[in-house]
Amino acid sequence: MLTEAQFERARRLALGLAGIELFDRHRELLQRRSDRLIGQDSLDALLDAAEDGDTDARRRLIELLTTNFTGFFRHPWHFHLAAEHALWAVHRRGSARLWSAAAATGEEPYSLAMAVIDVFRRDDPAVTILATDIDEAALAVAREAEYAGAALAALEPAQQARFVGEPTGGGSRRLVPAARRLVEFRRMNLADLVWPLDGIFDVVFCRNVLMYFEAGHRYAVLERIASMLEPGGLLLLDPSEHLGGAAELFVDRGNGAYTRRSAAGMASASRQGSAR
C-alpha cells in the first residue's frame, strides 16, 4: 500500500526532476504502476536511488508517473492543418521542420508524416519531423514502428493500404519506410534547463503534456516553444488544454490551434512576463 511518506517523496522528485506536479488524484496511478516495477525493486528502493542521483532510477520514476495519451490521428483536423502549414513553409522557404514534443509510442509523429505525404502528394517532401519524449521505453516502441491491429484500426482504409506494411508476427504490422524516414526520435525532458535542439520550427505539437506541469514550468515551456517557432508558426495542444499566462505569446485559432505572435508581440509579452 502506498504510504503518505512515499507519495510525498515521489511528489518532491517529480517536481524537481521534471516539473511534474502530483495531486491526490495521482495516488492511485502511482500505486498501480509501482506494483508493476521490474524485478524485485521496491518503490522505496527506486525513490532512494533517485534521491541519490541515480540517472536510471530518475528516468524510471518519471516514466512511472507519466501516462502516454496517444493514438493515430487523434483530433484529425490538427494533422491536416499542420501538413498544410508545412506545405506553405516549403513553398516560402524550401523546407519545413515539425516537432512532436510528446511523441510517446510514435502514433502522433507518424500520423503527421502520413498527413504530410498526403498533402504534398509525394513520399519525399522537404519536411523533417523531430519526435521527442521523456519515456525511453515508449521511444523504443516508436522507433520500431510496429503496431497491433487495434491501434491501426484508427487509420482509414486508404491510409492503411498506403502506409501499413506486411504483418511482422504476433498480430502487428510495420509502417512503410516512406512514413518512417520522415521522423527522427530523440529522448528529451521538457523540464530540463537546456534542450538539445537547434534551429526554428514551423509546427509544434505539445498535446497532453502541459497538464503535468505546475504553472511556472508550464509558462516556461510555452515561452521556450514560442521562441523556437517561426513568427506565425503553429502550436497544437489538446483542445481541452489551455495556455494560461502564456496566452499572451500566441494567437488563439480555436480547437487547440495557436500561432506565434509577431516579434513585436513577443517582445511585449516577454516584458510583461519579466514583471511578474
**Which residues are tagged catalytic?**
33, 133
Q: Which three cell numbers stand for residue 6?
A: 512515499
Q: Which three cell numbers stand for residue 242?
A: 489551455
DSSP E strands in the chain: the ranges are: 96-100, 127-133, 146-148, 164-169, 172-175, 183-187, 201-205, 229-236, 250-254, 257-260
DSSP E strands in 42-104: the ranges are: 96-100
- Residue found by looking up cell 488563439 in the block: 252
Question: How buried is 70 (Cβ within 10 angstroms: 0-12 exposed, 13-18 middle, 19+ buried)?
Answer: buried
Beta strands at 172-175 and 164-169: parallel, antiparallel or unpaired: antiparallel
Q: Which amino acid is at 18?
A: A
* Maximum alpha-carbon separation in the chain: 58
